[in-house]
Amino acid sequence: MQVVAHSPGSRRWELYRLLSEPIRLRLLALASAEELAIGELAELLEENQPNVSRHAKALREAGLLTMRKQGRWAFLRLTDGVASDPVVGDALDAGRALTEEDGSLGRIPDVVEARDAAAREFFARPADAPLDLPRELPAYLSALAPLIHPRRLAVDAGTGDGSFLDVLAPIFERVVAVDRSQPQLERARRRVAERGYAHVELRSGELSDPDLLDHVASLGGADAVFASRVLHHAPKPAAALASLAALARPGGAVAVIDYVSHQDERLREQQADLWLGFTDRELAELAGAAGLVDAQVQTIPSARCGDGPDGHLDWQVLVARTQTR
């Protein structure tokens, strides 16, 4: 039932009828402010999920909402361009007024932040797994370092136990490694000490912390910023990629390693994954939204991805650059 901006005038009454329900006005307003899951909308609206799904279905059939599925999760957002319809615009204004009055609009940041709770708990667990990366690999990478330019400074965003430092530290003259989990940083600290990486600086905090941005800027900005299997844990991937871009110098590179879009729900429970990977188009669009240019996405076959719980998945790497001033 397409009854929005370009529908025949004879069917406009259907749009008025559709938008006569206050719950639909509120739902529409919330989905226009942030892409939200059905369960999150139910929480904000204080309604049961079947009821929210029923109203959302009517709005989707009218073309007002767009749904994106992530495994068992279904996310809703306002369909691009529909706000220009005068009736829909009035409905959004009314919905925003209702959601401001009941406080649900202001609770959206808390709901989005709650997506992060499982990942925080997962990475806060002490881990004693052996550090079994072949010890000769850093030596081989050291031999390659003179072939790479520039290599003055790298940032390892979401370093975790520091496994990626065995790749970066032999190549870059200086590395700033950041993570918000103290147990993970303790493992990274062990690795740094055992490998003798005196030029690696470990920092605790979020990627968006102003102190981190100021510190990296004081060093001239990073030649390259890396985020290995971090983006699928981010409550707002676009904001996370923008934080990565802010750490790079003008013309610097941002490299994101993450999973190709998949449907393995087990990783939500096993590794607190929030997103089931990304398509190459989604990564390129996220890069563009972060102001990055020259984005390239390359698939990494699962045969190269180890034997961990995610080793059966194909991975991919996005490489893009910040704009030169």
- Shared domain for 108 and 131, answered yes or no, is no
DSSP count for the chain of H helices, then E strands: 14, 10
Residues 108/239/199/324 CA torsion (nearest 10 deg): -160
List, in order, residues 6 or more apart from 173 with CB less than 8 Å away: 151, 152, 153, 199
Residues of the chain with pLDDT under 70: 1-10, 128-135
- Whether the CB-CB separation of 16 and 87 falls below 8 Å is answered with yes
d(CA 205, CA 209): 7
Which residue type sits at 297?
Answer: V
Of the residues 114, 134, 154, the one at which a domain ends: 114
Q: For 125-138, what is each residue's pLDDT tens digit?
A: 877 666 565 668 88
Residue 3 inside a domain? The answer is no
Residue 2 inside a domain? The answer is no
Of the residues 114, 134, 163, the one at which a domain ends: 114
In this structure, what CATH number is given to the domain that contains residue 159?
Answer: 3.40.50.150
Which residue type sits at 206?
Answer: E
Full residue range of the structural domain in which residue 298 is found:
123-321
- Shared domain for 192 and 311, answered yes or no, is yes
What pLDDT is recorded for position 185? Answer: 97
Residue 1 inside a domain? The answer is no
- Shared domain for 171 and 104, answered yes or no, is no
Helix (H) or strand (E) holding 176: strand 175-179
- Shared domain for 101 and 203, answered yes or no, is no
Q: For 175-188, what is each residue's pLDDT tens digit?
A: 999 999 999 999 99
Partners of residue 36 on adjacent β-strands: 76
- Whether the CB-CB separation of 65 and 31 falls below 8 Å is answered with yes
Number of domains in the chain: 2
- Shared domain for 217 and 83, answered yes or no, is no
Which residue type sits at 30?
Answer: L
- Shared domain for 27 and 175, answered yes or no, is no
Q: Is 33 helix (H, G, I), strand (E, B) or coil?
A: helix
What pLDDT is recorded for position 4? Answer: 52
- Shared domain for 77 and 203, answered yes or no, is no
Residue 22 inside a domain? The answer is yes
- Shared domain for 110 and 129, answered yes or no, is no
What pLDDT is recorded for position 6? Answer: 45
What pLDDT is recorded for position 207? Answer: 95
What pLDDT is recorded for position 10? Answer: 44
- Whether the CB-CB separation of 55 and 96 falls below 8 Å is answered with no
Query: What is the value of pTM for the model shown?
Result: 0.81
Residues 119/276/264/50 CA torsion (nearest 10 deg): 90
- Shared domain for 89 and 151, answered yes or no, is no
Residue 196 inside a domain? The answer is yes
List, in order, residues 6 or more apart from 33 with CB less than 8 Å away: 105, 108
